[in-house]
Copies of this chain bind each other. A is one copy, B any other.
Amino acid sequence: MEKLYGGMEGGGTKFVCAVGTGPDEIIAETRFPTTTPEETLEQAIAFFKKYKLAGIGLAPFGPLDLNPASPGYGSITATPKPGWSNANILGTFRKQFDLPMAFDLDVNAAAFGEFTWVPENQELESLVYFTIGTGIGAGILIDGKVVHGLTHPEAGHVQLRHDRQKDPFAGVCPFHGDCFEGLANGPAIAKRWGLEAQSLPVNHPAWELEATYIAEALSATIYLVSPQRIVLGGGVMEQSQLFPLIRQKVCENLNSYIASPVITAGMDEYIVAPSLGKRSGILGAMAMAISSS
């Protein structure tokens, strides 16, 4: 029998846990709301205890302490989510399981999932996965490895050009006001227009503005990191009318400066939706478990 691995994608709203051998064989899956760390992690642990696993990949929301030399390694650091600051995810699991365990940010797991399980991505030297939803973040994969660096990228907080004549909305980020996340996450869309994002019609001017901010952040990413592909996931990106708008605006921003046929003629395959749909994160967490075992 093939070995079984567990994956956990821990979001701010819900947790997803799955057990299987890989994307083609998930033998069990559960999802439950994110309440307190104690209750939520207990539910995840009880689920995994039912199986004989070869390893577990843990991919919670951040920010995380990913430095193995730090006393807080394995914890969520300062988060506005009540009760979760300093929650030690990895430590709690280690008390319950004597197994190889991988620990990384949810968006890093999604990037790793898109790389590991999507054959055409495997050929790439570099890939960036953005999640654009309630939160905004990015995972960067270079030579098949997730980039951590000093802490981990916090792409949602990059400052964008913000034309207050055109968009007087001040932004919702408690730290930076009108950073990328502050201007473009789900709550910002809802607050600016007085309607939830999913209730706005596809021809609403909200989407043109949203695409402008996303394209600004992607252009900065292209200039600074030069990725070979950019994958856009998360709840806001389920509005598929955004993709052509974003591609066009990135081209306008770059103004033919990046001399690559991928940019000048292949935009439809350069800025793409996740091949794994909504399952990049959970399948990435499982891939992390496999690669660390």
Contact = CB atoms under 8 A, between A and B. Distances in A.
Interface of A: 63, 65, 77-78, 125-126, 138, 140, 142-143, 145, 147-162, 175-176, 216, 219-228, 253, 255-260, 262-263
Number of copies: 2
Contact of A253 (B151, B159, B224): B159
A138 B223 CA distance: 10
A175 B220 contact: no
B255 A155 contact: no
Contacts of A228: 149-150
Nearest to A63: B259
Interface residue SS majority, chain A = loop
Contacts of A145: 143
Nearest to A127: B149
Nearest to A162: B161
Contacts of A260: 150-151
15 contacts: A125-B148, A140-B224, A143-B145, A150-B222, A150-B226, A150-B228, A153-B223, A154-B258, A157-B257, A158-B223, A161-B162, A175-B255, A175-B256, A220-B224, A225-B225
Contacts of A154: 222-223, 226, 257-258
